Structure 1
C-alpha cells in the first residue's frame, strides 16, 4: 500500500474543499474510490477529470492497472474551459 499526496485543481479543488491531501492506496482506482466516498460533487468532477501520477499522464489506461508508487503525487485535472 502506497502513501502519497493527491492534488486537486480548479473544480476538483472546489469540490474537495482542499488543495491537496494525503492518501493511502495501491492503485489509482482505489485512490479515486477512497477520496470520493461520501463526496458526491468530487465524485462527479473526478469522473470527467484527467489524472497525472508523478507528472505522467494516465490517459485512457484503466485506473485499476495504475499501481501507485510510494510517495507518489497524483493530480486531478478537471476539463478546463477556454481554448
Structure 2
C-alpha cells in the first residue's frame, strides 16, 4: 500500500491543468472529467460551490483533496 503522500501525489497527477482554457479538468470517473475554471475557485463562495458540485457528481474524497491541494500549489485556490 502506498503511503498517504504518494497516494496524494498520484491522485494529483490525474487532475489536468489547462492553462489555455484557464481551467482544471477533474476526473469524476475513469471516462469523465469535470471542468473547473480558475475564476470559480478564486473566492470563498466559489470554492464552496465547486466542492459541492464535485461531491454531487460523486467525485471521490481523495480526488477532491488532491484537486484542492493542486489548486493551492498552483496559486489558484486562495
TM-score (norm 1): 0.33
More relative contact order, 1 or 2 (CA 8 Å, 6+ apart): 1
* Structure number with higher strand proportion: 1
TM-score (norm 2): 0.35
* Structure number with higher helix proportion: 2
